A and B are shown apart, each in its own frame.
Chain A
């Protein structure tokens, strides 16, 4: 007797649940068919040790979306940003991507900043037939696996560490450095860059005298700096996090290593606040970058101005690459004359886009051939030591 009402209530609840699921899927199909917007997903770290990068990336993309929409959108449709938080953790990035694809019906995604996450996202978008344009990860494997390498749907509009590592090493060798210590972040970015640096070491008769990788939250570098001090290294190869560079620099300053051991690699060495943390250590640091705020192209300077007006601070390279990549996608959609994923993909493969750094084209691994800039810190300023092509010789791998 007492079971009946419970059973009935359960049945009613099941009905309600079924109806709400149907309602949700109806709503989802409506938004998928909603012809007035083109959704662009941005997967980036919005929390955790790399959230600084994610915040820049998202603001850059947002600025570009607003700019495109202010001029009437693309093909008469507005762009709409959908964001996901990867926390720089592969599993989180994959679930953010899946949520975007399944529930938000996004078919074009820009992501992630962290190489480890991008590598994990590649098979997910491949299976779903969703376009992934990476704008900030530099691990070489990402494009070794794309285009003729396998993954049809991954593109990258960012230089790979293979070309960056080669350029930085060449310049360091020119300055007479042959003994290097490795102190990079323990991720696919940090380790990948070093793997490819090792490939070029014999060319300059250079060697690695010590090799350490730090976890993203590390703050005490003294033991490893002591080791480097006694190893005879002339320079530290560092592919690391922007937030960590001031810590290492200040601890090197304490140990009076400034001017004795130089930093070479990529970890925002040329950022004014990093230089200010320990000017004697940062002086002489060599870095290869995809862009810098002082780049004297009028469109680039306008971007820096607009960004400052909108968000109050100077954009970093991730803000720039996400901003440029949204414009690049808008251009591809315009060229394709359709927002269908396959059409946009085809248009992207043969695009000739004029970026603020120079022309952008994609090679057969769907890797953008974009210029990279070699910088050296002199005094408290970053000095441009040359612009190089980032074309990768895949056969050499």
Chain B
């Protein structure tokens, strides 16, 4: 029984690391724009497709494919950032909802148009199983959790110590003041957007081998789960996101493993409802940030 619960916790931490990597970007974008990026799951999908494309069509090895897929997704995000996202600064929130929902549809259908609507199998990855406390898992999962830890460490360092990080914090606290003292808000928004979506793409490229299949609509359900994670973590709170992601992942694994797989997706929504009812500021901050 103890081993069973330990195994479910490990499963949950792996799944939660994926949620956290995606949610980190979404919560940062929310911070600087006050807009929910409904297309965020689509960048995860684009990352997986980019990795799949460079491996299966160009014959590039998986390690390089991760770097390339993040670069390709970041380039797409840079374009969308310039054309759409930077215009959302000071725009009413409805514009953000409509614009990002529109981008989500465009990205999804562009991929379906280019590669077809059917499922594709992801080639490559580090899939040899390793034994860890009697739990067998692919090396890929360990890489994934490691990457999440490194990324969150890096983000923490960036927002505390770098100029860009400080500007992100400044913009998320008060964009008007930033404009007065000469911080280029649009530039900060663009950079945050590219960074956030690159994290989603990285998560997509890293999960490709363990999710095995990829298809145009794969980002949708991830976006919905990400909502739950960013609300639990506290909107705009990067550090909280990692723990919230893990908590959701572990809760989902325990429910799927003991009550039934068919109830797994309800966990995120129940968590979301409970958080909004009892603690809308998130689990980790005593007062609302905005």
Contact = CB atoms under 8 A, between A and B. Distances in A.
Contacts of B213: 219, 243-244, 246-247
Given A220-B15, A255-B136, A256-B129, A55 B257 contact: no
Interface stretch (B70-78, B117-125, B157-165): B117-125
Interface string A233-250: 000000000011011001
B14 A214 contact: no
Interface stretch (B23-31, B59-67, B259-267): B259-267
B121 A226 contact: no
Interface residues of A, number: 37
B117 A223 contact: no
B118 A51 contact: yes
Contacts of B265: 215
B268 interface: no
A254 B129 contact: yes
Interface stretch (B4-12, B83-91, B144-152, B198-206): B4-12
Nearest to B112: A47
B127 A227 contact: no
B138 interface: yes
A224 B117 contact: no
A333 to B, nearest CB: 33
A102 B4 CA distance: 56
Interface residues of B, number: 39
A52 B119 contact: yes
A224 B263 CA distance: 12
Contact of B121 (A221, A255, A256, A273): A273
Contact of A224 (B211, B212, B221, B256): B256
B257 A226 contact: yes
A34 interface: no
B179 interface: no
A353 interface: no
B56 interface: no
Contacts of A385: none
Given A47-B117, A243-B119, A277-B212, A254 B261 contact: no
Contact of A220 (B119, B121, B211): B211
B137 A254 contact: yes
A228 to B, nearest CB: 9
A223 B10 CA distance: 9
Nearest to B1: A230
B218 interface: yes
A230 B4 contact: yes
Interface in A273-297: 273, 277
Contacts of A214: 261-262
A55 B257 CA distance: 34
Contacts of A224: 256-257, 261
A222 B252 CA distance: 11
A253 B129 contact: yes
Nearest to A255: B136
Nearest to A231: B4
Contacts of A250: 127, 210, 212
The 4 closest A-B pairs by CB, nearest first: A223-B256, A212-B261, A223-B257, A219-B211
18 contacts: A49-B119, A49-B215, A51-B118, A52-B119, A55-B118, A212-B262, A217-B217, A219-B212, A220-B11, A220-B211, A223-B8, A226-B4, A247-B212, A250-B212, A254-B127, A254-B138, A254-B210, A256-B129
Given A218-B261, A253-B129, A277-B121, 10 more contacts: A49-B119, A49-B215, A51-B117, A55-B118, A212-B262, A214-B261, A220-B211, A244-B213, A254-B141, A255-B136
